[in-house]
Amino acid sequence: MAILTLFPPVTAPPALRRERLRDALRTTVDLVNRDRADLIAPGFVDDYLALDWLEDRGGGLRLTPAGAALCLQVAARVR
């Protein structure tokens, strides 16, 4: 089975990369909740961990309080 990614790898300046990560966070959280982290683009998980938006809990990813707050901000912006 081929691994499909919803978000292609991106090489962008840090500010643009962070914005792209923020925009993809809700979809990423949905994939994590459905145990489909394999569909997250290479490098995104490492960046989310470095930004403290996700944490690795014994091999499973989980949203951090900072990540949850950011998801709420993004959701409010969409409304």
- Please state, in angstroms and rounded to a whole number, the distance separating the CA atoms of residues 31 and 11: 22
DSSP at 35: T
> What are 33-43's pLDDT values in tens digits?
999 999 998 88
Residues 74, 79: Cα–Cα separation, whole Å: 9
Residue 2: both structure tokens together: 């081929």
pTM listed for this prediction:
0.77
14-36 residue pLDDT tens: 788 899 999 999 999 999 999 99
